[in-house]
Amino acid sequence: MARIPDAFIDDLLARTDIVEVVGSRVPLKRQGREYSARCPFHDERSPSFTVSPTKQFYHCFGCGAHGTAISFLMNYDRLEFLDAVEELAKRCGLEVPRDTQQRNQSGESRELYQALEASEKFFIQQLAGSTKARDYLDKRGVDAENRARFGIGYAPDGFNALKDALGTDERRLSLLDKTGMLSKSDSGRVYDKFRDRVMFPIHDRRGRVIAFGGRVLDKDDGPKYLNSPETALFHKGRELYGLWQVKQAHSKIPRLVVVEGYMDVVALFQFGVNTAVATLGTATTPDHAELLFRNSADVYFCFDGDRAGRGAAWKALESVLPRMRDGRQAFFLFLPDGEDPDSIVRKEGAAGFDARLAQAMPLSEFFYGELSKDVNLVGMEGKARLAERAKPMLAAIPDGAFRDLMQQRLTELTGVGQRVAAAPPAQATPSMRGRSGTPAPKRSLVRMAITLLVQKPSLAAEVEAPYLFAELQQPGIGLLTELIQLARSRPDITTGGILEHFAEEESGPALQKLAVAEILTDPKVWANEFVGAVKSLDLETLLQRETALNQKQKESGLASLTDQEKDELRGIQPAIRALRQEISRRGTES
């Protein structure tokens, strides 16, 4: 993907009216300074989806979906990042910047896509002339409509059919090679990679062919399935076979069913189960998990019930668990011995397969069932073993109700983490409350500063480097420093832009919550509050440093201090007094 400058993205978002972008797809109703609607990313009866024109981002208080106009187009229209940027740029009359190298790369990419499209057409033509390939598909019950839907074709027997048809010059041969359609022997001979196989083109999220999978017609002719190698266009750990076809069948995908093979996907479609996708000869990766949940909140993993199937299911769980934000669900369906989705749907039809999905095992049940297999939960030792196994995996779950409930289940099974008597409720700060208007937990100075900065990034211009507070040993200081530096280096960045920047970081969920926290003070005094918070952190830093120097002197004597430390100690008290006076003055102005 071409690298687009951050400054262009910030400018694009600043020029884009997110209310117009969202409102053209979702009916919005004005509520004060913001707009609300029923969330388009999960089912709900009352509106919890909010669009803020001042912060230029959207947020759902129900499922947690949030982001900028770019991420809205990615999630709602299911566009890739670059496509979403180009869509918004077109609306604003801007041209997406790319340097010469990127333009050249884009030109070659087009040629690679064209070579793969030509290969797909060649294989489809060959299928029409191959009786044995058509007989195979007839035997498997794949009708003409379904063959066309998936672009199924046939690679002829022999070593040079595709090469001779499409590789008519050195340039075309090079393109076929770069797309993984050719192989080379030890002696240097170049020949077709796919031979005498039913061919399944693999499409990207824009419907372009990026690779192929080939299935043998006779069991003894090499591996059952052969996939294209990794190329500039194809990374098997990031793609799902059938996802493009699922998108064409649904404006909003109700669920996704993950199966193991191409023919499983095709057969399920043939019998009316048109939400199936498959990984491409690899275990479910984190990229797969993110792609699955980006398209549907409910994901079902369908595997064989044997040891290998359960192993594959566990790998899927490990990829899914860190992405189980509230509103998302994952289930595991294990099939009887000797059965696969293809055979099951032929015997039981779509209704029977749906009935099996309805009985699928929730992620939580599979998680604790697998971890408890060799554990005796009667004794304390077994309970301790289960707790130690579960804790690091539970820590990977994003903050929210699901994580709380998973932790609660661990407590029920082991007793670890039993609740102690509840502490008295904290007093609310005068300036911040939760969305419901009830008092929010007491905020630290760091959190107050971060909240103000996230909601109004231009406040970063109020403080100059070097930042004294950056030396303070306190949680959140590193994030505050990073936020100030980010906002100062990108003056046009919005709240939505900040959330996009930190979307994949550990701090992302916390920043998301702070972005929608209600600040009760007048926005006119936010700058004074922000600088006051920073100055108070500076004061804490000086007091912390003074304590450290005095402690060193007390333990080892004045001679243990360097000349620089002695000068620092002499000047620290005047600096503390000056800061206290400034903080006091700002307090009277707020």
C-alpha 461/C-alpha 446 separation (Å) is 17
Q: Contact 527/462 with Cβ under 8 angstroms?
A: yes
Taking only the tens place, the pLDDT of each residue in 44-92 is 777 889 999 888 889 988 888 888 999 898 888 777 788 888 889 988 8
The pLDDT, as a whole number, for residue 434 is 43
Most confident listed range (413-422, 438-447, 563-572): 563-572
Task: Identify the residue whose tokens are 């069913």.
Answer: 257
Q: Two tokens at 150? A: 């998936």
List the structure tokens of 580: 């206290």
Q: 369: which residues sit within 8 A by CB, 6+ positions away?
A: 361
pLDDT band at residue 99 under the 50/70/90 scheme: low
Report whether pLDDT(241) > 80: yes
444-447: list long-range contacts, CB under 8 Å, 24+ apart.
Answer: 444/474, 444/476, 445/533, 445/536, 445/537, 445/540, 446/474, 446/475, 446/476, 446/477, 446/480, 446/533, 446/537, 447/476, 447/514
Per-residue confidence (pLDDT) for residue 409, from 0 to 100: 94
In tens, the pLDDT along 4-32 reads: 788 888 888 888 999 999 988 888 999 88
The fraction of the chain above a pLDDT of 70, given in percent, is 92
Domains along the chain with CATH numbers: 6-92 (3.90.580.10), 102-234 (3.90.980.10), 251-260+285-368 (3.40.1360.10), 372-414 (1.20.50), 432-589 (1.10.860.10)
Q: Does pTM surpass 0.75?
A: no
What one-character-per-residue DSSP string does 212-267 give?
EEEEESSTTSS-SEEEPPP-SS--GGG--BTHHHHHHH-SS---EEEES-HHHHHH
Say if residue 146's pLDDT is above 70.
yes
| Tokens of residue 114, six digits | 């064209």
430-451 mean pLDDT: 60
* Band of residue 588 on the pLDDT scale cut at 50, 70, 90: low
**Is the model's pLDDT at 175 over the cut of 80?**
yes
Tokens of 118: 């030509």
DSSP state of 517: P
